[in-house]
Structure 1
Amino acid sequence: MQLKGDQLGAHLERELRPLYVLYGDEPLLVLEAADAIRQKSRQQGYGEREVLTVLPGFDWNQLLAAGGNLSLFGDRKLIDLRIPNGKPGKDGSSALQAWCQNLSADNLLLITLPELDWKEEKAAWFVALATAGVAVKLNAPPLAELPGWIAGRLRRQQQSAAPESLTFIAERVEGNLLAAHQEIQKLALLYPSGKLSPEQVREAVLNVARYDLDGLREALLQGDLGRFKRTLDGLMHEGEAPPLVLWAMTEEIRALATIRAGLDRNLPHDALLRDAKVWGPRQILFKKALQRLHTQGLMQALAHAATIDKIIKGIGRGNLWEELLRLGLMLCESRPKQKSS
């Protein structure tokens, strides 16, 4: 069965199949679709999850073993199979076709792939998957349809905007869905439910304050602690919303952590930047930051960001702005681990 991305929600309300394949050129949509399937699977009693990532040298017997290992607690299992390059190879092709012939209600196989060309969509292994299960193609909407996509996302957070405001956002993000997603989240943080005025949209998207969030992000990536402290202080005195400041910092930390983890697995640098939607001059900033930052430090930064989020929500203790400064300090002064001699 082949579905479009916007058909998946209605499909999951009706049923849950034992096999799903998600692929396309927009990582945000693939991630959200995978989250929806995982959530539905938990509701249906798939209490155990095993993640398999197909890297060079991957043993496809691991997939068959994952399907054969029963849970000690009798739970059904979700097997999360990720093929970053979209090419399972000869052994993988055979293993996937064999899996399709022996589907079981005790195992749900969720496969995520990048964008595939028409030749790959006609490969025997992919045809077998799409025939036995559900294949969902998730590509970014064309620029002309992006205002409608943005309007739909705003409805999810009980907000709306005039057509010219939707077009303004779409043009500013230049078709980048992740950037559009971030702008939509920003609007939810800044304004209550209801219709947004054109002025509110422009102010949020352009962010023309002297001490702005873009400057804060840049200082983090450059490791410029002095500039970071000055910018953070400016944001505090200008009354910037703390959730928005934390969001801006956390978005960079997550992107850095994802890319750093890929580099640790010897994946190509440029491909990781592209998948993380890091373009143009920001690539230079990210590359320099990644020379300074390591996985452990980034994981600690994410944990500290979670602590700050609790303070913002009133369920944690501490001085909010001091903790934001500490978070910046962790990132600006982090250094790679020294190899033991």
Structure 2
Amino acid sequence: MARLNADQLAAHLQRGLAPLYLIYGDEPLLALEAADAIRAKARQEDYAEREVFTVESGFSWQNLLASGNSLSLFATRRIIEIRIPTGKPGTEGSQALQDYCARLPDDTITVVTCPKLDKQAQATKWFKALEQAGTAIPVYPVERTRLPQWIAVRLAAQKQRADATTLQFLADRVEGNLLAAHQEIQKLGLLFPEGPLLFDQVREAVLDVSRYDVFNLSDAMLAGDAVRLVRIMEGLKGEGVAPTLALWALTQEIRTLAKLKLGQRKGAALPQLFREARVWESRQGLVQRALGRLNEIRLVAGLKQAAALDRMIKGLARGDVWDELLQLGLGIART
């Protein structure tokens, strides 16, 4: 029926409720907030009863179908929540979801939640049935470039504001950890009155709750953000992340870029190349910008550096592994 971004949900709910919502993605805070917003709107519309089905070992899909086919005992309107933590309902579950969508119960709002689903999962019959029966809401981590604005919107909701420098500082401190970011923003609302926030106030109040992973590292390299790349590399090293993982993340991206460059040289269309390389739609802009500034010579040199680093990690060559990892990332980021 429709697909919405999480930030479009509020406007959608003002126009009315859909009969079914599918929330999926790898950002727990945004998924939780989306489900809460739907429940709140449903309560306003007198959906008073709520049933929750969690798909786990031994789950009976017949119980779900029976509930959908039965009338509410205590209220005329109800919410049915179907939680699929693995994102894999199985053969029986797939058919049950299709049957459920074919005969959506009256006076019922259904909310289905799943983790991040890859393109293969989104091509399944059960996913398509859910999407066609209602509204799909994918929730993805907030991109680094959008994080200061995301923070500004949250501050505005509690009638506070901050200048660009302060927002950037906050973004640096909470990157990669939206739930902790949400808690820190709430704390600012408790500590300080409505109105402008001073940089010194925020610096003293906010903890460094940033949490990096190797995917943040590769994103910084693709974005050409050398300063952020250095900060993330230092964070990973300090957290005791194995250098093998950092090398894997960087090498995967460089290898993908090299394949895309080769495909472009042979005349293939970029959308087709993205599909073949399994580049997610949410990352295609980032990858395309990196392709625009990098040439094949630089990418081949990067792969050779990565091979030398692999030998170093295995003890077959001498050198400072983390320093060489940094040089590898900066070599791509600064090109």
Output the TM-score relative to the length of structure 1: 0.59
Q: Spell out, residue by residue over 1:18-66, the C-alpha distance to the aligned partner (whole angstroms, 9 max, x if none).
A: 1100011100000000000001111112110011100012110111122
Which letter does structure 1 place at the counterpart of 2:135? V
> Identity of counterpart residues, as a percentage?
56
2:49–2:74 contact (8 Å) kept in structure 1: no
**Distance of 1:48 and 1:41 partners within structure 2:** 10
**Distance of 1:72 and 1:25 partners within structure 2:** 35
**2:253 corresponds to:** none
Question: How do 1:127-166 and structure 2 match up within 5 A?
Answer: 127-166=128-167
Question: How do 1:186-335 and structure 2 match up within 5 A?
Answer: 186-206=187-207
Structure 2: segments with no counterpart, 5+ residues: 210-238, 241-335
Matched residue SS, 1:85: coil
**1:37 corresponds to:** 38
- State which drifts further: 187-196 or 69-78: 69-78
Which letter does structure 2 place at the counterpart of 1:188? G
> Highest Rg: 1 or 2?
2
Q: Tell me whether 1:106 sits opposite 2:119 in the alignment.
A: no
**2:120 corresponds to:** 119
Q: Spell out, residue by residue over 1:147-194, the C-alpha distance to the aligned partner (whole angstroms, 9 max, x if none).
A: 000000001100000111111111112221112111101101100110
**1:276 corresponds to:** none
**Distance of 2:6 and 2:74 partners within structure 1:** 34
Which letter does structure 1 place at the counterpart of 2:194? S
Compute the displacement of 1:80 (Å). 1.0
2:68–2:104 contact (8 Å) kept in structure 1: no
**2:53 corresponds to:** 52
**1:257 corresponds to:** none
Structure 1: segments with no counterpart, 5+ residues: 208-213, 215-279, 282-341
1:142–1:175 contact (8 Å) kept in structure 2: no
**Distance of 1:3 and 1:47 partners within structure 2:** 25
Question: How do 1:55-94 and structure 2 match up within 5 A?
Answer: 55-94=56-95
Compute the displacement of 1:75 (Å). 2.2
Aligned residues: 210
Compute the displacement of 1:81 (Å). 0.9
Compute the displacement of 1:73 (Å). 3.4
Compute the displacement of 1:119 (Å). 1.1
1:4–1:138 contact (8 Å) kept in structure 2: yes
Which letter does structure 2 place at the counterpart of 1:101? A
**Distance of 2:92 and 2:161 partners within structure 1:** 50
Q: Tell me whether 1:6 sits opposite 2:7 in the alignment.
A: yes
Q: Spell out, residue by residue over 1:111-137, the C-alpha distance to the aligned partner (whole angstroms, 9 max, x if none).
A: 011111111111111011111110000
**Distance of 1:187 and 1:73 partners within structure 2:** 42
Query: What root-mean-square deviation, in Å, do the aligned CA atoms of Structure 1 and Structure 2 show?
Result: 1.6
**1:265 corresponds to:** none
**Distance of 1:73 and 1:45 partners within structure 2:** 12
**Distance of 1:135 and 1:190 partners within structure 2:** 37
**Distance of 2:74 and 2:83 partners within structure 1:** 25
Compute the displacement of 1:206 (Å). 4.1
Which letter does structure 1 place at the counterpart of 2:57? P
**1:19 corresponds to:** 20
Matched residue SS, 1:34: helix
